[in-house]
């Protein structure tokens, strides 16, 4: 908290609110800690750029030892490929309609591209989209481990790998996402166990049809600590780079490890037990719930009880903490990923508050 306030105090004259402030030393510690954990457990780190969409941060992740990056859509992959990233996993069951087939082909000219598949129709469509050169595209079979989102049943991963190979695509492994974790350390551990089990089944399926699973890829920040020394070869954490209140509540980061907050200004104070700040859904997105709130003020128990587009309703029932009109307060988001992409650039400083850089959110808006 002290370092947040110090950073804010030095920025307030130069930065217009709402603004996303990154404490770069805290962020770098997060990057290095994740890499150390992975190194100790013999895992590759392939960070998901959905969280930051920022080339500079991706470069820092690579420099720390990441083997490549994970992207969520073709547009993100293009932005990072254009910046020189040459090993990209599109961890999504891409359907190559519209111009996406041509875009994927183009991407394979400059980067080793892997994409997710979870069904035969998509395999056929991807092979068609690659024209005469399907072997330029590597695929990972997505299996479900309990999130009931995308991903085939692990038992048929082998069939899908074979279907891909028959069409000339290059199956190199399997991946899943343990998004069914829920709250608490035990729930996260169970999700991680489900993940391991699904991946073991899937790898066995690939082996059974003569496909080597070079890559066995797992999410995510909340489950990473339970990953290691099993079948998994690679982790795809995203949120660890900044952290947020959700991860703090899950026990996946501490409050001191949160590296991004949104500086907001108090603009109105007419309602008892409430002030209005200039961060609403346009800055924070509507992540949270009426019960949990939509973000907190660092170092206090105050939460945003409600958001309109340009207005954050900061509830102050206790009466102890009441910032006055014109005060700048550090909002800690519930979920960091949808916050970053609202902004053109990140305001980057450090805990001493002496440096100030602006990093573009390069891949914002690239949604397809």
Return the beta strands (E) in the chain as ranges: 19-23, 44-45, 69-71, 87-93, 112-117, 138-142, 170-176, 215-218, 234-235, 260-268, 274-277, 296-297, 303-307, 312-315, 328-332, 345-349, 357-360
Could you say which residues in the range 125-164 bind its own copies, by CB under 8 A?
Answer: 125, 142, 144, 148-153
Of these, 112, 292, 310, 351, which contacts its own copies (CB under 8 A)? 310
Candidates 79, 314, 328, 332: give the one binding its own copies (CB under 8 A): 328
Beta bridge partners of residue 48, listed in sequence order:
70
Footprint (CB under 8 A) of its own copies, residues 36-95: 50, 72-74, 92-95
Closest to 192 in 3D by CA, of 41, 332, 296, 55: 41
Residues 191-220 that bind its own copies (CB under 8 A): none
**Among 131, 53, 47, CA closest to 96:** 131
* 365 binds its own copies per the rule CB under 8 A: yes
Q: For the CB of residue 145, give the shortest distance to its own copies in the complex, in Å.
A: 12
Q: How many whole angstroms from its chain centre is CA 85? A: 17
Report 224-263 residues binding its own copies (CB under 8 A).
none
Nearby residues of 123 by Cβ (< 8 Å), 6 or more positions away: 117, 139, 160, 163, 164, 167, 169
CB of 87 to its own copies, least distance (A): 20
Q: Which of residues 12-31 bind its own copies (CB under 8 A)?
A: 12-19
Among 325, 355, 357, 358, binds its own copies (CB under 8 A): 325
Stretch that binds its own copies, among 2-10, 59-67, 207-215, 324-332 (CB under 8 A): 324-332
Taking CB under 8 A as the criterion, the residue among 10, 274, 300, 351 binding its own copies is 274
User: In the beta sheet, which residues pair with residue 143?
Assistant: 152
Closer residue to its own copies in complex, CB, 122/235? 122
């Amino acid at each position: 908290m002290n370092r947040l306030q110090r950073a804010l105090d030095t920025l307030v004259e130069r930065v217009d609110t709402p603004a996303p402030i990154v404490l770069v030393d805290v962020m770098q510690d997060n990057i290095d800690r994740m890499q150390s954990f992975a190194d100790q457990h013999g895992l590759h780190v392939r960070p998901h750029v959905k969280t930051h969409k920022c080339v500079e941060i991706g470069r820092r992740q690579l420099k720390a030892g990441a083997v490549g990056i994970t992207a969520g859509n073709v547009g993100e992959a293009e932005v990072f490929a254009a910046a020189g990233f040459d090993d990209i996993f599109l961890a999504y069951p891409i359907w190559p309609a519209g111009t996406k087939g041509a875009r994927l082909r183009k991407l394979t000219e400059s980067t080793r591209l892997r994409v997710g598949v979870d069904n035969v129709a998509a395999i056929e469509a991807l092979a068609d989209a690659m024209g005469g050169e399907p072997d330029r595209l590597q695929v990972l079979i997505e299996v479900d481990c309990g999130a009931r989102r995308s991903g085939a049943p692990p038992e048929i991963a082998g069939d899908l790998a074979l279907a891909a190979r028959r069409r000339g695509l290059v199956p190199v492994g399997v991946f899943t996402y343990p998004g069914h974790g829920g709250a608490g350390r035990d729930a996260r551990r169970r999700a991680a166990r489900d993940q391991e089990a699904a991946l073991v089944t899937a790898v066995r399926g690939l082996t059974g049809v003569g496909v080597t699973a070079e890559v066995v890829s797992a999410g995510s920040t909340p489950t990473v600590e339970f990953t290691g020394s099993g079948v998994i070869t690679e982790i795809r954490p995203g949120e660890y780079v900044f952290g947020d209140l959700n991860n703090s509540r899950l026990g996946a980061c501490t409050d001191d490890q949160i590296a991004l907050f949104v500086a907001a200004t108090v603009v109105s104070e007419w309602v008892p037990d409430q002030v209005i700040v200039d961060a609403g859904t346009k800055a924070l997105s509507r992540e949270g719930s009426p019960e949990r709130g939509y973000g907190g003020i660092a170092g206090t128990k105050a939460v945003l009880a409600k958001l309109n587009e340009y207005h954050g309703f900061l509830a102050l029932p206790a009466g102890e903490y009441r910032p006055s009109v014109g005060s700048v307060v550090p909002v800690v988001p519930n979920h960091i990923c949808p916050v970053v992409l609202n902004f053109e650039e990140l305001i980057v400083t450090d805990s001493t508050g002496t440096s100030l850089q602006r990093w573009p959110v390069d891949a914002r808006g690239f949604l397809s």
